[in-house]
Amino acid sequence: MNSSSVTVRAAPSLALIKYWGKANGSEPPNRPATSSIAVSLEGLYSEARVTSAENRDCVILDGREMDGRRYAAFFENIRACLDVKHFYECICRNNFPSAAGLASSSSGFAALAAGCARLSSLLLEKPTPDLRTLSALARVGSASAARAVYPGFVILKANAEAALPLYAPDFWPELRVIVARISDEAKPRSSRDAMEHTRATSPYYPAWLRDSRALFTRALAALERRDLAQLGPLIRASTYRMFGSILAADPVIIYWKPLTLALLEQLEELRGQGLLLFETMDAGPQVKIFCLEREARQAVASIQKAIPELADRLSVLAPGGGLTWPEQET
């Protein structure tokens, strides 16, 4: 590998039990207020190609330079932890829409943290930091990114510095996620802003925090048993209770589109026919549906028939993900 450039990919981390809110409000160091459980998804990825720079940090995502203020604390923390002085130039791309509610900040910051840390390690002729350290570095950029450095099933506990790997992807090889791309538009308000707005103005936020602790414990037990019939309702509860707290914020933030609701209605109908389909949503209009492999094809066909606008906007993904280093794989 050429030590002056590092390329790394990371897959998005989709939460079954949601992180929403920060332990210390809007202040650094960006630790979550709730414990989350997530799965990293095979097939979607963010890629970062990182080189060192002389004068300033720079992130170019899908050809556009990003606002440096969003990245300043992240890069400062990396330099302090690795004891380096140089800056980073990062050319990034996603093979899926950015900032549209497909967890691109989880995969993006995981790839950035791994790429920057590996580059600096190569320049210092030191080993690359371990995954726990990369997870802590990624968390400063985006708390969900702490989870995305690991493949498979991952937890990030409330107030934690780093995520913990729970099970490898082959722990539950039959699990699938149908991703419905309702819209490719960037969301109107970032998760970071929206969760702080929720904390500051929603009377339901304290209840969300309390309840999410119970959901986390119950979901861990259902996941251990690979019991989708038990786990699925907990995934839905975490989603709708998170949105309940957002809908009670003042002023309200609405991420859903008419097509989001059309799909939710259709899922209710398919559940009535006996299919095990359990939706989750993040800060955006997209819908992700947990199901088993044996029912995924039928579910996709039924959704395509009922909602033709979604016909070519559905993908079926499996657990996987984590960090990959494409230059080393060739």
Q: Which residues contact 266 (CB under 8 A, 6 or more apart)?
A: 302, 303, 306, 307
Burial 220-246 (b: 16+ CB within 10 A, else e): bebbeeeebeebbebbbbbbebbbbbb
Instruction: Candidates 10, 15, 182, 299: give the one binding ligand 2P0 (CB under 6 A).
Output: 15
Instruction: Count the neighbouring beta carbons within 10 Å of the beta carbon of residue 69.
Output: 7
Q: Which two tokens stand for residue 107?
A: 């995969």
- Candidate ranges 101-109, 119-127, 203-211, 294-302; the one touching ligand 2P0 (CB under 6 A): 101-109
Q: What is the per-residue binding string for ligand 2P0 in 78-97, x denoting contact by CB under 6 A?
A: --------------------
> Given candidates 7, 8, 11, 18, which one binds ligand 2P0 under the rule CB under 6 A?
18
End-to-end CA distance of the chain: 11
- 283 touches ligand 2P0 by CB under 6 A: yes
Q: Does 30 bind ligand 2P0 (CB under 6 A)?
A: yes
Spatial contact of 271 and 236, defined as CB atoms under 8 Å apart: no
Task: Tell me if 120 contacts ligand 2P0 by CB under 6 A.
Answer: no
Residue whose CB is less far from ligand 2P0, 9 or 187: 187
d(CA 80, CA 140): 12
Size of the site for ligand 2P0 (CB under 6 A): 16
**Is the distance from CB of 281 to CB of 287 less than 8 angstroms?**
yes
Site string for ligand 2P0, 244-263 (x = CB under 6 A): --------------------
Q: Which residues bind ligand 2P0 (CB under 6 A)?
A: 15, 18-20, 30, 36, 103, 105-106, 142-144, 191-192, 282-283
